[in-house]
A and B are shown apart, each in its own frame.
Chain A
Amino acid sequence: MVDQQQAPKIIAPGYTFGTVTDQIATVVLTKKTSLFWLAGFGVGFSLLLLFLWSITVLLAKGVGVWGNRTPTMWGFDITNFVWWIGIGHAGTLISAILLLLNQRWRNSINRFAEAMTLFAVACAGMFPLLHLGRPWLFYWLFPYPNTMNVQPNFRSPLVWDVFAVSTYATVSLLFWYVGLMPDLATLRDRTRNPLARVIYGVMAMGWRGSARHWSVYETATLLLAGLATPLVLSVHTVVSFDFTIAIVPGWHSTFFPPYFVAGAIYSGFAMVLALAIPLRKAYGLQGLITDKHLDNCAKVMLATGLIVAYAYILETFTAWYSGNVYEQAAFWHRMTGPYASSYWLLVGCNIAAPQALWFKRVRGNAALLFCWSLVVLVGMWLERYVIIVSSLAQDYLPSSWGNFHPTRWDWGTYLGTIGMFLFLFFIFIRLLPVISIFEVRTLLPQAKVGEEAQR
């Protein structure tokens, strides 16, 4: 007889309702702040200050401090916007789509993935706002009765984007908060600090785990997941409309929506891995975020990476097959022109590198996976940069060609949003449970109601 290899579990054996609760709640309720937290928060906070500095310079001198010049009127700003909002997509995919598909392993990674979504969308929102030049007039983007007697043009994808992104941010926040309520009640009941008890108590809204409430709660979660699923697919679709509806060669393509959505999930799962691996190591959460979770995330990354690879190939083929000289020239310039190094680097990062994920040895090694996820994040950033900048730099008239040169304020703003993301994420780690406690309880074998009661 051959010993059958035990399938890796999604939760380590030996946990009880009590120990699961204590382990996750302790990360928040302990008085000791770990060195990991201080280091991560320190990096985030320093970069956040860089962000504030860059914004101050931007507001004092104007958008000219960035490298955006005719013809590349979109540069780092829109690249970063698309990159950040794409990263957010994995959080909603994990919390909504995997819930509808009954993938129970998601229960221990959905909370911080949703937080990642919220913070990534906040970072994404910064760029179009700052690019407005006068960000304090952002409300002009929305239709409202005004004395100027002007209204937004609803035929423009840029206005669709305003609605799509603000809806996405709102719905993600609501979904996240609903998921937090039972855990906030746990923190309220567990904390010994009277001030914390009041704050968690107010946030938990008096949740007491009543069966009547749970029954409505389950319906609400399912409905929200059902609503968030088409929403998340629509958001990057609308973002891709910003490009496809323009007539710029290299942008004007009907297959951008699925291509962008796949790329978004790809980069999002890379970010989930980049956050989960240090997090579980620093707080000893390997029993809850197991190797099985990393393996599954890596498989999703591989699958979406293959879709992205297919999209690159098809994009190039379509340009050639269209017979349109401008499309053909756009792709030829992309591969051989001033942005060739970025293009081939992104092909290396997004197509070649992830092929290593076919091997179990790579997927089973957390440190390697961490490096791989960073490679994919860089690759996906380059993808957006190449699509946006190389298409604008060389379009129809050679006389109007021009390259994009990022300034230090471009870099400052970009690194600054990474700082803002880390800053928010580390505050989240310290103040709210990083893993959904009540959903992990349902994964335990003890949570199954015995046969005699299932009449």
Chain B
Amino acid sequence: MRSIYGVMAEFDNPTALVNAARAAREKGYRKLDAYSPFPIEELSDALHLHKNRLPLIVLAGGIVGGLAGYLMQYYVTVWDFPINIGGRPLHSWPAYIVITFEMTILLAAISAVMGLLALCGLPMLYHPAFNVPRFALASRNRFFLSIEATDPLFDARATSVFLETLGAKEVSEVAE
């Protein structure tokens, strides 16, 4: 038997997808993924996806940016290129606030985007899901649930039959 990535069921509305995802999880499947043309909050609940590390990454980026911004100005105005302007102290911290703030935002935003890509594993050149011809509709108006072959409970026939009982419009095998 040729190796397959998993099986995929197609639904035509978000409610059916959320119900199916929840049922599959209750049945014990864990290597699940759902695909939808827009974010569905209930789907994240059904698949237990609420925690991610992005806020932590952004916080770290912001702290690094703020420190870098402040220290850069401190280094330049106090050590590298000290100029006496109107007798003001070299370490004139109130004047540093703006650039420190901008650098905080800049690095936090860059780490938000980089973190998003990293946590999603993007850019991704190939994914087996695209082998299903109707999967192109996942970015239009169809909803998909896939169970991967690496799941311990996976059995090509039994899993397909199970997905059909959930009200899927169509169930297809996903080539590796």
What residues make up the interface of A, taking CB atoms closer than 8 Å to B?
A: 16-18, 21, 143, 149-155, 157, 159-160, 163-164, 167, 170-171, 174-175, 177-178, 182, 185-186, 188-190, 202, 205-220, 223-224, 227-228, 230-231, 234, 238, 241, 438-439, 441-442, 446-450, 452-455
Contacts and interface: CB of A to CB of B under 8 A. Distances in A.
Contacts of A223: 54-55, 58, 108, 112
A255 to B, nearest CB: 18
B117 interface: yes
B168 interface: no
Contacts, number: 208
Contacts of B77: 151, 154-155
10 contacts: A18-B141, A21-B139, A21-B140, A143-B76, A149-B81, A151-B81, A182-B38, A208-B127, A231-B105, A442-B39
Contacts of A446: 13-14
A18 B96 CA distance: 52
B18 A453 contact: yes
A219 B44 CA distance: 12
A208 B72 contact: no
Nearest to B114: A174
Contacts of A175: 109
Contacts of B139: 21, 182, 185-186, 188-190, 207-209
A453 B141 contact: no
B110 A205 contact: no
Contacts of B135: 208
Nearest to A22: B140
- CB-CB nearest 7 A-B residue pairs: A206-B124, A17-B141, A205-B123, A450-B15, A151-B81, A189-B136, A214-B39
Interface of B: 13-15, 18-19, 21-22, 33-44, 46-47, 49-50, 52, 54-55, 58, 72-73, 76-77, 80-81, 83, 85, 88, 92, 95-96, 98-99, 101-103, 105-106, 108-110, 112-113, 115-117, 119-120, 122-127, 129-130, 135-141
B128 to A, nearest CB: 10
B42 A449 contact: yes
A147 to B, nearest CB: 13
A20 to B, nearest CB: 9
Residue among A18, A209, A212, A446 with max Cβ neighbours from chain B (10 Å): A209
Given A17-B141, A186-B139, A214-B40, A209 B35 contact: yes
A204 to B, nearest CB: 9
Contacts of A448: 14
B154 to A, nearest CB: 18
B105 A167 contact: yes
A353 B89 CA distance: 49
A216 B52 contact: yes
Contacts of A450: 15
A206 B14 CA distance: 22
Nearest to B54: A219
